[in-house]
Amino acid sequence: MSKSEPFRFRLDNATGVPVYRQLIDQVQLAIASGTLLGGDQLPTVRQVAVDLAINPNTVMRAYRELEIRGTLSTQQGLGTFVSLNRVERDQVQHETRLSRLAAECAARAGSEGFSVRELIGRLTELLPDNEPET
């Protein structure tokens, strides 16, 4: 992530997804897409709450859940950072979980009236510009 552009959260109140869940999903997507890297600092709880006009407890809940998962680490007095530790899974488990996730995503998109091709196109847009397609 560019150090000149801090990570920013955005809320979509039309989705019906709870705010804390949106925050969690945005961090996980940013990590998966390479927008956030290990060691990158997230905005403070207070800053996110002010920027989004939400209760600080909502931000704390999202950050705490991500800490429990090992995605974030908070260092007292310094801030909250993307964890440098990556959870290692064996390749079979990794492939199985990815296949299940892809099938769930495709099914959900289909139930919303989108084709798999449209879904893939939108997912491709999430790739950083410098990442080669596989």
What tens digit of pLDDT does each residue of 52-101 get?
999 999 999 999 999 998 999 999 889 999 998 765 556 777 788 888 88
Q: Read off the DSSP letter of residue 73.
A: E
- Shared-domain flag, residues 28 and 78: yes
Contact (CB, 8 A) for 89 and 101: no
**pTM of the complete model:** 0.67
Q: Are residues 27 and 61 in the same domain?
A: yes
DSSP string, 83-129: -SPPPP--HHHHHHHHHHHHHHHHHHHHHTT--HHHHHHHHHHTS-T
d(CA 131, CA 134): 9
Compute CA distances 80 → 2, 27, 63, 127, whole Å. 17, 12, 8, 24
Structural domain including 101 reads 91-125
Domain count, the chain: 2
| Cα–Cα distance for residue pair 55/23, rounded to 1 Å | 13
2 within domain boundaries: no
The answer to whether residue 6 is domain-embedded is no
- Are 72 and 49 in a shared domain? yes
Quick one: tokens of 125? Answer: 């847009």
Say yes or no: 32 and 77 in one domain.
yes
Residue 120: inside a domain, yes or no? Answer: yes
pLDDT computed for residue 89 by the predictor = 55
78 and 101 together in one domain: no
Same domain, 102 and 72: no
Domain membership of residue 7 (yes or no) is no
- Determine the average pLDDT of the residues in 7-27: 92
Residue 13 is assigned to a structural domain of this protein: no
pLDDT at position 1, please?
A: 47
Supply angle C-alpha 46, 65, 30, rounded to 5.
Answer: 75
Do 74 and 110 lie in one domain? The reply is no
**Is residue 134 very low, low, confident or very high in pLDDT (cuts 50, 70, 90)?**
low
Give the mean pLDDT of 9-23: 92
